[in-house]
Amino acid sequence: MPRAPATAPLAAALAATLLGGAALADGQLDAAISALRGDDSLKVRTQAALVLGQRAAPEAIAALRQAVVGDAAAAVRLAAVTALARLGPRAGRIILKGAAQADADAAVRAAAGRAVAAFGPVALQVRAAPSGGVSGPARLDLAATLGRHLAEAGLLVAEPAELILTPTAAVEVGRADGKAVVAVKASLSVVDADGRVDLLERTARASLPGPAAEPRLAQLATRAADAALHGLCEDLAARIAGR
């Protein structure tokens, strides 16, 4: 890419930012994004990342992520890390966590690690499945139970959420060896701000000797669902720690 056309609007964008945050025209934002993506000069790319960080423009998220992950110059990656950190955890957490672990440059790893730490805990939101999400002969309030276990596990439920959680459960009732057995297969869909989906599943089986009377089965189902959702919260906490 020719250098002059990219740097001129960029200089203008930088001046505009320094002059007190006047809104950039779309064209200027685009120029900074394309400079970050393709300018030959690492100084220009670094400046572009800094400008985009100061603007905190959501349109720049993709280009900033790409710079953190793929720019050959550590200075550019460092500037892009700072910019993504300003755009918040929904925009930056996964990429910055990856950079903190895997970037080849120690300064980039350290800056990314600090940014992730500054994001604080991952904010979660529970959204009940349509029709409650329970299949089988049991009535369970999965969303409420999940909310309780999230709180017990020390996970943050807040908005705007980085992860949307939807629980479902399949309940099966049976008898084996003179015992009443209720199996609850509980699962959780976990969708992040980019729409990326993860699925977790746990099965819990609760049994009691004696006849399978209705109140007893309800008690077993509640107990099994409780255990399964507790396990799902553990898995989720581990997944969040490793994200």
Which stretches of the chain bind another protein, using CB under 8 A?
Answer: 69-70, 94-95, 98-99, 101-104, 127, 129-131, 133, 135, 166, 168, 170, 187, 189, 191, 194-208, 223-224, 227-228, 231, 234-235, 238-239, 242-243
Output the smallest distance, CB 40 to another protein, in A. 20
Output 25 or 62, the one with its CB closest to another protein. Answer: 62
Output 56 or 208, the one with its CB closest to another protein. Answer: 208
Output the smallest distance, CB 156 to another protein, in A. 21
Output 11 or 129, the one with its CB closest to another protein. Answer: 129
Output 117 or 197, the one with its CB closest to another protein. Answer: 197
Output 30 or 235, the one with its CB closest to another protein. Answer: 235
Contact (CB, 8 A) for 211 and 180: yes
Output the smallest distance, CB 21 to another protein, in A. 30
d(C-alpha 176, C-alpha 43), whole Å: 71
Core vs surface per residue 9-30: b (16+ CB within 10 A) or e? bbebbbebbeeeeeebeeebbe
Query: Read out DSSP for 133-162?
Result: GEESS----HHHHHHHHHHHTT-EE-SS-S
Output the smallest distance, CB 151 to another protein, in A. 19
Quick one: residue 166, left, alpha or beta (phi over 0 = left, psi -120 to 50 = alpha)?
beta
Q: List own/partner pairs for 68-72 with CB under 8 A and 24 or more apart.
A: 68/95, 68/96, 68/99, 68/108, 68/112, 69/95, 69/98, 69/99, 71/45
Output the smallest distance, CB 172 to another protein, in A. 13
Output 13 or 225, the one with its CB closest to another protein. Answer: 225
β-pairing, 179-192 with 134-135? unpaired
Bridge partners, 181 (sequence order): 174, 207
Output the smallest distance, CB 31 to another protein, in A. 22
Output the smallest distance, CB 198 to another protein, in A. 5
Which amino acid, residue 215?
A: P
Residues 6+ apart with CB under 8 A from 6: 31, 34, 35, 38, 39, 44
Output 3 or 127, the one with its CB closest to another protein. Answer: 127
